[in-house]
Copies of this chain bind each other. A is one copy, B any other.
Amino acid sequence: MTYVRNAWYVAAWSHELEAEKPFAITILGERIVIWRTATGGLNALEDRCVHRLAPLSLGRCEGERLRCMYHGLLFDAGGQVVEIPGQDLIPAKARVRAYAVVERHSWIWVWMGEAGAADPDLIPPAVGLDDPDYILGHGQLDYAAEARLINDNLLDFSHLTFVHAKSFGSGPQFAQTQGTITPLERGVRYERWTENSLGSSSRKSATPMDNFMAYDFLIPGVLLMTGGIFPLGTAKACGYKAPDLSTAVGGVTFTSQAVTPLGDKSARYFFSWGPHRAHGDEAVRDALMVMADQAFGEDKVMIEAQQRVIEATPEPKVMPTAHDRGLIMFNRLVEKEAARAQSAA
């Protein structure tokens, strides 16, 4: 399992963090407690008291601080112990790791790498639930599978034809052709025109049109996808490049998806989806969410089964196909970034 540590990982939805209620999550195997103070600030610490290793997430918020509720050690936002009941002297080593944490696009992002490199500009430009242009629903799923397998799934959309034949309704021809894949600094871009088509379940048209879809898949595992329906001939007129989405005649939606590795064999999958205000309303959003729940359930069945097969295989080996180009490009980038951070350390 190779992951880029110098990256922002989605830890929760904004609304999951109520004021002064510590929230526990494990990311990349590290137990983290995040809490929102009464004044709205966000803090994140290693979720393990220095005293006897009780989880701080069972603790009590006191102003900007968090008290371990086993024997009462009090931690400041930087992870330093500032009070030990019944003891005057506080050892300097009485501290736990603090994590940079940022709230943006309706998600709580935690930086898992070296503290000095935590640059909020590296947070992927997801679309938040409060975005004025989109009407978004949202959900999440826990996987009994390595996050990498979910990333792989999202990097090869040829599975739509098979896994999602009934939900997304992409026909057999979808898997017969390739999209255009372009490397990005922190990910890959996938773009695809389907000409003269009635679309799929989420992007239908009454008469044949040109259909566009595109997504960026970004480190550590964030998918940002949009698309739309265009008049016949648009694809060709654009030279099969990305169109101006504001010229779409319908079907413009946006989905933000984030895959967070919890442990070696578990992951949390966050997603939002909905139409552009110009192309849909709450009813369209609700229909898309029904479709998403069905489809992501289909992925979960397949990926968790795949995980079990891999675990039961002494030396698991894959055999890449033509559709794995984006997946391979992304995974090489991950390996490179992970190696670079390690050699710098």
**A-to-B contact residues, CB < 8 Å:** 26, 29, 31, 47-48, 50-55, 58, 67-73, 84-87, 91, 93-94, 152, 156, 158-159, 161-163, 172, 175-178, 301-302, 305-306, 308-310, 312-313, 316, 318-323
CB pair B175 A322 closer than 8 Å? no
A305 contact from B54, B85, B177, B178, Cβ within 8 A: B54
CB pair B54 A316 closer than 8 Å? no
Is chain A's interface secondary structure helix, strand, loop, or mixed overall?
A: loop
CB pair B163 A93 closer than 8 Å? no
CB pair A70 B161 closer than 8 Å? no
CB pair B93 A319 closer than 8 Å? yes
In the assembled complex, the Cα of A55 lies from the Cα of B163 at a distance in Å of 13
CB pair A322 B71 closer than 8 Å? no
In the assembled complex, the Cα of A70 lies from the Cα of B87 at a distance in Å of 60
In the assembled complex, the Cα of A323 lies from the Cα of B178 at a distance in Å of 66
Which of A69, A70, A152, A306 has the most CB atoms of chain B within a 10 A radius of its CB? A70
CB pair B156 A71 closer than 8 Å? yes
B-side contacts of A70, CB under 8 Å: 159, 162-163, 302, 306
Q: Write the nearest CB–CB distance from A94 to chain B, whole angstroms.
A: 6
In the assembled complex, the Cα of A47 lies from the Cα of B309 at a distance in Å of 8
CB pair B163 A309 closer than 8 Å? no
In the assembled complex, the Cα of A323 lies from the Cα of B84 at a distance in Å of 10
